[in-house]
Chains A and B, each alone.
Chain A
Amino acid sequence: PLTMCAELLPEELATYYKRLYPTHLMVQWLSYRSPAYFANREFSMTLHDDIYLRFLSYNYESEFRGALLDRRPEKIDIGAVYSCRPRDRATVSGGAFQAKEKELVIDIDLTDYDGVRLCCSDARVCSKCWLFMRIAVQVLDRALRCDFGFRHLLWVYSGRRGIHCWICDRTARQLSANARTAVIEYLSLVRRPGDKQPQQGQQQPPKCHPSVAAAADAIRRQFDDLVRQQDLFGTKDRTRALLAQLPEDLRSVADTAVASWLADPDAYPSLKRWKTISKFAVSRGRQDVEQQLLIQYAYPRLDVGVSTGVNHLLKAPFCVHPKTGRICVPFDPAAVDSFEPDSVPTLAQLLAELSSASAQQQQQKPHLMAYKSTSLKASIELFAKFVDSLRADEAQAADGAAAAGAALRDASNGGEIL
């Protein structure tokens, strides 16, 4: 019997890993065309009853698949590629077991928007607050590609209220902790709730970095919708909060406008209030203020800690979220506007689709093709395209930079695996 409750049953997970989980693609991805690279990768698994296992590693795809079927993990994390196989770390001296490479990762969580996300709070997520995530994806995707030149970005839904981005370019994987911090700080424009905020810009409009201007542009395209959906300035408090962010020279005139709003609130919905303030600022030559406000309300809040460490573990794509049952599926950033968290398939749904698939379909190599008759098809095909393009690039790079790559891989004690 299939359940819809929060509990992830081992039997259900077993079926998932056996027939739907894209094991082959995952291994292809994480090998980056090198078996030794895969063998030196750390995995961690959370099993039933909260048993947590770290420093797991697998030499071949068959070992990995076997472990999945055997252990039926409720969560799988991906860690760094080490200087030797993580499971052999005890055989080398202390300093020799080191995290060498890992994808640069970004984690965005809706709970960090609780200051501006007015429709829900904590764990609740609705279609209105998802607009924040859409904006975040557009802003970051542009910055990562245009500013940093990264090309292989895997955007993944984290199952409930957030998204992860795995930046898989070779340059990104080889970044030091220091470099990762630099990238994230470049991308950080807003503090998360609880962090101290720097004072708002004062008199002179400061120069606006092109990246910041581009971010403001992306936000502006969606901001009217956001204001309307969240009713961002609909109450006295929210209006006051908006005004508090204006610099001295604009505030006094704004006060008069506010008086009329509060006198007749229904005649001045949030969007109208926003339009008044933003137009006013721009007309006074203070476009920087308008940009700052856009950023303050809607720029992505980044979890710096997740991105900085080379050895940090992050949940793998295609895990099942234990609370919602939804699959952590990759999505296309170009189509983020049409991505709906509510439409993401759940495990229960997938298993139902499996069992109702025709008998004929089930006879053809079930564990390889079964996904095609379920709602997971699109996500897996997206993932396959991503992995293909990555491998194509890697083949090119390997030819050109054979020396650098080989030196790294051979530095691992494991050496080449058969």
Chain B
Amino acid sequence: MEITESKGSSAEPQVRLQFYRDPPSGSEQLDTVQNLCLARLRLLKAVEEVGQDMIKGSKEYMERLKMKLGKLDLGASLLTTSGVHVDGLRFREEIRRDVLSHFLLRLAMCRTEDQRRWFITQETDLFRLRFQLEQNADRCLPIAGRSDLAPELLAATPGIGSDAELATVAFYRAHFTEALDLVRSRRVYLRDGFAYVPETGVVSMATTRFRAHLSHQLAVACRALPYLGEDARLWCSAARLTSWLRPASRPACSICTLPCAAIIISGTLAVDGDKFAKEYAYGIRYNYGKEGKRADFSPYSCVRIITTNQPGQGDSHGCPFRHCGADLLAQRLQAAGISQDQAQGILTRAKDSQYQLACRDYFRAVHKLSSDHEVSINHPNQYYEESRALLLGNGQQQQSARAPVRVTKVKAAPAATAAGSQAAESDWLDETIDQEMSQVDLSAYEA
């Protein structure tokens, strides 16, 4: 990559952006290690959240992400650009925290393919944001003298409308493997294996390289650790919980997910144990009929989720095909690794209000099934069961797919004991939730 001189400030820039090539060394207190891991995990969760709610790369996305990350521990230092000067000691400390937390999480997240994919996605999005902030902060001088290529550059590069405009844009020449995103969508001029990338495309190239490098490193780390079995793949839009769900989302989530609440608890959440016990454990037990009026609430069926209880800003329940906008849905489909053609088909279904068919097509795409594979999804739990059956092999399929969710009316037991009533303060015992619960459709889906 040919690089132009940057104007730069008078002081030596404090370069913070990391490719994380070399692992840190030294020793740290166990406390520090734990806190760093948690801090970065929170950071990455925030990145994930904003990425689900907004179109990545849009101005709103960048503003929201900057705001959210700025409030978090680690976040502020990661967002500081190299033009902003701090004293040497603080600078080195902040770099160390950045690098250490990244490498620690690499170890934690390298074991299963899902974790690796999640980690790579969030770290890459974070890298892209930091790179863009650096770019905005520090203007580069344009390169002159590509007049012989001008017509091709103009024709090939979107966003440049005239020769005059072209003259103001700096171009970088890099091997096409460094600019795959631009190549894939034919948004760049290619000649003899080299891509001519406008400066706006540089972030794409750097991000591609970052992603590839990280992906490779994780694979290496994974092979270095003892081999553990693959976890069954879990999918439910609400199952990717953050620990900060709004009340209306929670019943739909905790009820309609998995038979084993322990998976949610032990999975990706790294939340303070006490906080969890106080605020959420009661609620989960309540919904499983272990506390309070001991009613057995059946999980919402697809029809119910689609037609009632619309999610609002910041909520994470609902049917993704119904409640996400087309752009956001397209983004999520791409993140799930589905091909353009299939994604287009799913988007069309969703646009035509055929949400359950869209879900079915998604299921087929994600599990790499042929388009005449019979499956009809009427319930989020059913999605899980079918998915699990496919991944565990056909032997189990008959069993788990056919096990119906039984709903039995249980006599309301007397109010819970001390442990339960202490949590009365929390908004779990909100009257509005009870009311909603009582309207729950008690006819469970039939096998």
Tell me how far the C-beta of A210 lies from the nearest C-beta in chain B, rounded to whole angstroms.
5
Classify chain B's interface size: 20 to 34
Partner of B193, one of A148, A182, A185, A213: A148
Chain A residue at minimum C-beta to C-beta distance from B222: A95
Interface pair B344/A209, CB less than 8 Å apart: no
Give the residues in chain A near B186, CB-CB below 8 Å. 185-186, 209, 211-212
Q: Contact partner of A171 among B184, B193, B212, B341, CB < 8 A?
A: B193
Partner of A94, one of B227, B344, B345: B227
Q: Which of B334-385 contact A (CB under 8 A)?
A: 339-341, 344-345, 348
Chain A nearest CB: distance from B175 CB in Å?
8
Q: Closest A residue to B212 by CB, please name it.
A: A176
A179 neighbours in B (Cβ, 8 Å): 177, 180
**Of B49-57, B150-158, B299-307, B419-427, the one with at least 4 CB within 8 A of chain A:** B150-158
Instruction: Judge whether A210 and B152 touch: CB under 8 Å.
Output: yes
Q: Cα distance A195–B371 when bound, in Å?
A: 12
A178, A182, A208: most-surrounded residue (chain B CB, <10 A): A182
Question: Which residue of the partner chain A has the closest CB to B211?
Answer: A178
Type the 1/0 row for A93-107, where 1 means its CB is closer than 8 Å to any CB of B.
111100000000000
Q: Mark B90-131, 1 if CB is under 8 A from A, else 0.
A: 000000000000000000000000000000000000000000
A207–B155 touching, CB < 8 Å: yes
- CA–CA, A156 and B181, complex, Å: 30
Q: A181 to chain B: which residues have CB within 8 Å? A: 184
Interface residue B233 (Cβ < 8 Å from any Cβ of A) = no
Classify chain A's interface size: 20 to 34
B148 interface hit (Cβ, 8 Å): no
Distance, CA A207 to CA B157, complexed state (A)? 9
Q: Across the two chains, which residue of chain B brings its CB closest to A180?
A: B180
Q: Which residues A137-166 have CB closer than 8 A to chain B?
A: 146-150
Report the minimal beta-carbon distance from B362 to chain A, rounded to whole angstroms.
16
With a cutoff of 8 Å between Cβ atoms, the chain B residues found around residue A148 in the complex are 176, 190, 192-193
Distance of A150 Cα from B177 Cα, bound (Å)? 13
Determine whether B235 belongs to the interface, using a CB cutoff of 8 Å to chain A: no
Q: Which residues of B contact A176 (CB under 8 A)?
A: 212
Report the minimum CB–CB distance from B135 to chain A (whole Å). Answer: 23
A386 CA / B194 CA spacing, docked (Å):
24
Partner of A149, one of B181, B184, B192, B341: B192
Within A165-183, which residues are at the interface with B (CB < 8 Å)? 171, 175-176, 178-179, 181-183
Contacts of A178 in B (CB 8 A): 180, 212
Assess A182 versus B194: contact at CB under 8 Å? Given A209-B156, A213-B155: no
| B194, A149: Cβ atoms closer than 8 Å | yes
Chain A residues near B176 (CB-CB < 8 A): 148, 183
Q: Residues of B contacting A213 with CB < 8 Å?
A: 155
Q: Which residues of A contact B194 (CB under 8 A)?
A: 149
Q: Tell me, yes or no, whether A196 is within 8 Å of chain B by CB.
A: yes
Could you show 6 A-B contacts with beta carbons less than 8 Å apart?
A148-B193, A176-B212, A178-B180, A185-B185, A196-B348, A209-B155
Instruction: Please give the residue numbers on chain B whose beta carbons come within 8 Å of chain A beta carbons, in ascending order.
Output: 152, 154-156, 158, 176-177, 180-181, 183-186, 189-194, 212, 222-223, 227, 339-341, 344-345, 348
